Every structure is written in structure tokens, then in C-alpha cells.
Structure 1
């Protein structure tokens, strides 16, 4: 059997079925390291398309090992795990699934803000554990009237801003000022200084790696909260853990982590955190739309036509 599609991570049943209808698929994630080497030795020349997730991408070693590779189709909006320069030099196109997940990510960001400040997970446990009979739940913090700072006002950041504007004033920072009715801050430190809640929604790039560092967290302050729905690499997790442990910020809600699915034990043990397993786009409707866009790009590639949502460096 020859294989034209290499699948790097588990996908929905519907998407996997649709991929199988378009060519023979090899599930890379199901192979051991030794099996991968043996499979490449036999089939590397056959693969023309890789289908992957944004959290996995496709590293340069695998790109180099697939001489016939022409497409990396990402089931996600993030493409930071693919070296675009290397892909371009090898004649490999890259696609992603923008726009279709914007609403879900923005909705989750707002949900995390409310759940973090109002302590909803703890309140749920308080009732379930039977502690309500022994006394009232501790007071939480108000959401309305807070100052919200958004790091990155792209599609998702703008959608978050539109939702949170009903709660309080919005400010943002990014690579450039935009014609929007929100205050612009020149850098994350300046933004954090004037924010009660700092929401990270920027792209993961070499420039943004570790951008939310000790200086930004100190500027956010002991009454400030951090929410990250971007990528774990944007936040210096060591600095964040130290800030949480010493009370230099009030709390953090994180949907993404630097080394997923491995989450630092210090974050798990930290009381003022709310942690979710990278579920920002995890709704039935959005995952279906993402799968449709992956297939649309794959079909365009197989037909030799223009890609629907190509990623450009």
C-alpha cells in the first residue's frame, strides 16, 4: 500500500473518515520511534500532504524526511509549530483554519475572566463538598467596571474586546495602533500597568516568546489577573509561578501551556489558578467548521487549484 497523507495527531472521527476517502492515510502518532524510522524508510517518498494540529505542527526534521511533501494542512489557527521559511524553501505550502474559531476562543476568554474573578470552580466544589451547610462562600471579586488589557488585537483579540466592552474600559497593545475605540499602549508593561485583567490573545512568534515576563506581571500587580488563550510560549511560566506563589498577582486563568499536555505541578498546585486543557475552539460546531476548512484546503491542493486559507510568512 502507498500512503499519500500523513496524519500527525488524532482528529475527529468525521475528519479522519473524510481524509481516508481522499487517499491512504498513515497515523504517525500511533507509531513508536522505531516504527516511524522503518515506515519512513519504506514510504517517505509517497507522502504529499501532512495533516496536523496547531499544537503539533510539523518540525523541520519531518519536513526534510518527506521529499514529496507539498502541503501541511493545520487543523487550527496557530502555525507557530511550523517553520514557514523552511517549508517555503522546500516548496511546501501551509494552510490553517482562521476565522471559524474566533467566536469560540473569544467566548472562552470572557468565560475565564468571569470564572476566575467570581471563583466559579471553587464555588461549585464548595456546594458539591457539602461545605455550604457550615457557612457562606468567601467573597469574590467584581467583573463589571474592571479595566481590561488585551495583548494582540487581531481577529480573536478584537472579538474579545467587543465582548468585554460591556463590562469595562478596554486597552490593547500590538505591533501597531489600530483605528479602534480602545486605548493603545506601546508595550505589554505599559498595558499591564493600567489593567486589572490582562488577556493574552497574540500570535506565538519568536518575538512574543516569553513576552509576558516578570516585568509585565509586576506591572499588573497584586490585584491583577492574567488570562491566556493564545499560546503557552507567550507567557514565561517560571515567572508566572513565582508571581502567583508570592502574591504579586491575584490569579491566572490558562487554557494553554508551554509543554502541552504536561502542565507544571506548581501551576496545578497553585490556589489562585483556573486551568483548562486547551479547549478554546472545542465545540462541536467549530470543530466541524475547522474540519471542513482542512478538507477544503486539501481538496484544492489535490485538484491543483488555489488554496483556500494559505499561511504566508
Structure 2
């Protein structure tokens, strides 16, 4: 009898372990040892699937929580919520076997609503709205169940940014008109079910240009990638009184925007390491000189979103 009870106890213990999985990940979401981790993940088996909760290790705050259909976390199948490192809500919505379904809402880092959309089978359906971080409406897309409809977009001062129609599958169709920030046209483009036909570019004074070569260009630091790397390395130093344990390197990831004038905006730590290191990395990015702003394929200067890993290197003397 005692032997049977012992066996039952062991089986129950093994079953409990199988129902709860714990994993540690580095900044690139690769499995790693706990001492090198940036994220901690806990998965618990339920009748509905695997309930997963991820945390920022350093901040001890939630990164994500949601329900998966499998232990490999390949098929989201339930409600999901994502958070910024400071604990503020970033995005929330429902998945049905890896496809978005129902209402999804995103938030700026200051807590303001960023976007709101309804999905059916991973496609936006109905009215999709977007706001800037000041609460000004800048995007409005209305689509039917097949993905056909219209889109209207504005700048922060409510000047028109773009307008046009979509055919089935949310493909540009017919005439699309794009505008510079001063209100003048930047490009008039023709499409047929998503296929580009032709366009006419205009300068900021409204004069038609003969050159219709794609103007798309990424935001860049003066002097290029090499100059940007040199700037980071020149200004990077370990915080006074700190050393890196269990490694000779530590990486902080900074997200930021290069605006249409080349200024750095809305920089924040998206993958933190330690407050002292995070602040140095953030300060270096914020204090960089003006960048060359990005231009899109519609002949306009546009904001560019960048993600920059900043790696601290420690020289260990022997």
C-alpha cells in the first residue's frame, strides 16, 4: 500500500512538472542560462491551452501574456496583452490559431491610444483608426469583409497626407494622391489591383517633376553607418562603479524616431539591462547630431522608426 502511494505521489509530481514550463531568453529571444537572460517565461497547461506569461528580468515587469495552443509558442490562440518595459500597456487583442480576430488596440508609450482595428481571419475589417501621441486622428481606413474600401491620412496639423481606394485584399486601386506637409501634392499615382501603373512627382512648391525614379530612402546618420558606429563607440563608457557580471558585454536596445527634420524623437529603452547602463545608452542616442531624414516612395520626407542595440564592452584584466 505504501509502495502504491509512493508511486502515485511520484507520478503526480511528474505530472505537475509537465504542466508548468519555465524558460529564460536573451535579448534576441534565444534560450539561455538564467544569468544571461533578459526575459523569463512561465507556461502553465490549462484546459484551453498553454497560458504563457513573459517578464522583463531586470524590470521585473510583464512583457507579454497570452494563450498558446502548443508548447513551442507557434500558435497564438486566445487573448494577448503586450507591455512596455515601464509597465504601460502597449497592445492588446485576440488571436484565433495565429490569426488576429476581433478588436485590436495599440497604445503610445505615454498611454494615449495609438490605433484601433477590427480583424476577421487576420484581415482588417470595418473602420481602422490611428492617432498620434498627442491624440490627433491621423489615419482612417474603412474596408469591407473582402478588404476593399478607402483610406484617408493626415499630418498632425490635420493637413491631408494621402487619400485613395483599395480593391479586394487591401490593394491600392485607381488614383492615389499624396501630399507634402505644406499641403502641396507630392505624388499622383495610378494602381490596378495593387499593381503600380504610373506616377507624377511634384516638388514642395507644387511643380511637376520629370524624374519619376523611386525616391524611397532610409534615414541615415551623416557620414553613413560607419560614422554612426564611431559616434556610439566614442561616447560609450561603463557607468562609474559598475562592472558586468558573468560576461564581458552587455547590450541595451533603444527605439527612436528620426523626424522629417532629422531630429531624434521619442527615444526609449525597449530592451533594458540595468538603469545605469540604460540611461547612458539612451542619452547617447538622444544627443546625437541631426540625421538625414527618410523619404518615402511618394516623394515625401517621413518619420523613420529605428531600433539600435548599444553594446557595452568590459575589458577584463588578468
User: Shared fold by TM > 0.5?
Assistant: no
TM-score category of the 2 structures, normalised to the smaller one:
under 0.3
TM-score normalized with structure 1 length: 0.27
Higher helix share: 1
Per the normalisation by structure 2, the TM-score is 0.26
Higher RCO (C-alpha under 8 Å, 6+ residues apart): 1
Structure number with larger C-alpha Rg: 2
